[in-house]
Chains A and B, each alone.
Chain A
Amino acid sequence: MTSKNTSISTHDLHCQFGEVRAVDGITFEVQTDTLFGFLGPNGAGKTTTIRLLLGLLEASSGSAEVLGFDTRTQADQIRLNCGALLEQTGLYERLSAEDNLDLFGRIWHIPATERAERIRSLLEKMGLYDRRKEMVNTWSRGMKQKLAVVRTLMHNPKLVFLDEPTDGLDPVAAASLRDDLVDLARQHGVTVFLTTHNLAEAEKICDQVAVINKGKLLTVGSPDDLRLRKSAHTLIVVGRGFSESVVTDLRAMPDVEAVELQDRHLVVHFKRETDSGNLVQFLAGKGVMIDEVRKGKASLEEAFLALLEEQA
């Protein structure tokens, strides 16, 4: 049973299509009012997970609750309270932007006056209000994506699923949509479940991230946690007296995975988390003058790739 502060909770969720395990025993929780990034390469199982959580697909085994509703038996309640932007924008291209939003307002039984006001305020926030009467098929991809995001918020959902919302957008359009997305989510107090393979994007906007690959969940945590987990294995030593023999001796140590000598920096990658004291002692013994020792700062991308490598 999900708690008040949990929007999504899955337990050992599986989804199998023939021999293919699209989702393979994933367990995680998404806290309310957070921006949760679900990261993974193409075909990792991100879209299938969203479909399972929306009750559009039935799990082979395991369970999931969304906003306290069971995905197997209360899917209609989930869809009532959630918004979704799936793989495609799902916009009716021969209708105007206003008509698209009006349709979804009607689907959610929003009264006419409130509907018109909501369309106005959301389109104004996105800078699309002046073009609301135009057919959607005349719009750029970036504008369509923005409209599709607006559509998911029409009925004031508690939770929105966004499946790669910035995919295929140029960097400027992607950044603009990202900013709008964060603003809207924060202003409206919406929990956002966002899938992406754009790690820089996840790093910028997500409070929590999970990494999935080949249907398996590899890790869950904040972007900082993930970076630190990777960085915990790397130490950077600034100093003088790094000779080739020191580097060779370091490489011979059992815990050391790799050593890079860069200008006055020595970057040492360990196989597991290690105490910097041992390294300092070793280097001092070799006559190295140490000015500074610090943990490496891996990017989320490096952490992500390391996770995939570990899985492989």
Chain B
Amino acid sequence: MMQDIFTLIRKEWKEVVFQRSGGRQSWISMLILVGLIGIYLPYINGAAWLQDPTALLDWAWVPLFMTIGLVADAFAGERERHTLETLLATRLSDTSILLGKIASSVLYAWGIAFACSLLGVITINVVFPSAGLQFYNPGMFFGGLAAVLLIAIFISSIGVFVSLKAATVRQAYQKLSLSIMAIWFIPFILIQTFPDKVQSFFASVAPILDAKPPLIIGGLFGVLIVADGIMLLLAKKRFQRTRLILE
């Protein structure tokens, strides 16, 4: 199965990065993002960038930017370009196709985030040189990469879920954008609707959590892992050859 997944990843990257329509556009947006997070932000923040946990938030944008376009195309694009049925008629299993599609966008986003982080190190060491090599706080570095991975899996799974049913790439892109906006804003709106007792409970817990960042980070990671699992299962459930052929 791994071989099949890699075959699909290879095909997706080859098609999207180098040759699919808008390939030049995707290169430009990728270079802008890498330039912004790998060069500009470290440059204006100075050596503190390598130790600043808020840099993690900047990294978190990478999967959002990089996967959304790629993953919206996953199945809707195949359908639009009339290649989906041929792909489904191959020996590839459902799981290989699904995971191949998700993995291609996850690894794409994660790879760019990794490149951004290394570029940040180079920028800091070149622009703000010191006696030895300056590098990230290891916890922040590995935590950041893990966070990017989990966010990328989450967005890719939602993207594939949406793309499976969308008739066109444009429709998938719009639905995916709306879904991500909804996921971002709905919790804030919901909290406003909670009874006063619940809100005051949150208010009393907040200072305790603020004092223990690892607890918050661990909790967020836990939530992301569960969310990733749920979205992967939902995408797997929606992936049915018969439905894909008839829709």
Contacts and interface: CB of A to CB of B under 8 A. Distances in A.
Interface string B15-31: 10001110100000000
A94 B241 contact: no
Contact of B85 (A87, A103, A106): A87
21 contacts: A56-B85, A57-B242, A57-B245, A58-B242, A79-B89, A79-B91, A80-B91, A87-B85, A88-B86, A90-B86, A92-B11, A92-B15, A93-B81, A94-B21, A94-B23, A95-B15, A99-B14, A103-B7, A106-B10, A107-B7, A107-B90
Interface string B80-118: 011101111111110000000000000000000000000
Nearest to B87: A90
A7 B83 CA distance: 26
Contacts of B90: 79, 104, 107-108
B204 interface: no
A246 interface: no
B3 interface: yes
| Nearest 3 CB-CB pairings of A with B | A90-B86, A88-B82, A94-B19
B26 to A, nearest CB: 12
A106 B15 contact: no
Interface in B228-247: 241-242, 245-246
A285 to B, nearest CB: 64
A100 to B, nearest CB: 10
B12 to A, nearest CB: 10
B92 to A, nearest CB: 6
Interface string B203-247: 000000000000000000000000000000000000001100110
B85 A88 contact: yes
Interface residues of B, number: 27
A143 interface: no
A52 to B, nearest CB: 10
A90 B10 contact: no
Interface of B: 3-4, 7, 10-11, 14-15, 19-21, 23, 81-83, 85-93, 241-242, 245-246
Contacts of B21: 94
Contacts of B246: 17, 57
B7 A94 contact: no
A67 interface: no
B89 A56 contact: yes
Q: Is the interface of B mostly helix, strand, loop or mixed?
A: helix
Q: Which one of B7, B81, B86, B241 has the highest number of Cβ atoms from chain A below 10 Å of its Cβ?
A: B86
A37 B51 CA distance: 70
Contact of A92 (B3, B83, B88, B91): B83
A209 interface: no
Contacts, number: 68
Q: Is the interface of A mostly helix, strand, loop or mixed?
A: loop
Interface string A51-89: 100111110000000000000000010011000111111
A107 B4 contact: yes
A108 B86 CA distance: 14
A105 to B, nearest CB: 10
A293 interface: no
A94 B88 CA distance: 19
Nearest to B85: A86
Interface string A28-50: 00000000000000000000000
Contacts of A56: 85, 88-89, 241-242, 245
Given A86-B89, A92-B83, A95-B14, 18 more contacts: A54-B89, A56-B85, A56-B89, A56-B241, A56-B242, A56-B245, A57-B242, A85-B86, A86-B85, A87-B85, A88-B86, A92-B11, A93-B81, A95-B19, A106-B10, A107-B7, A107-B91, A107-B92
Contacts of A104: 90
B70 to A, nearest CB: 14
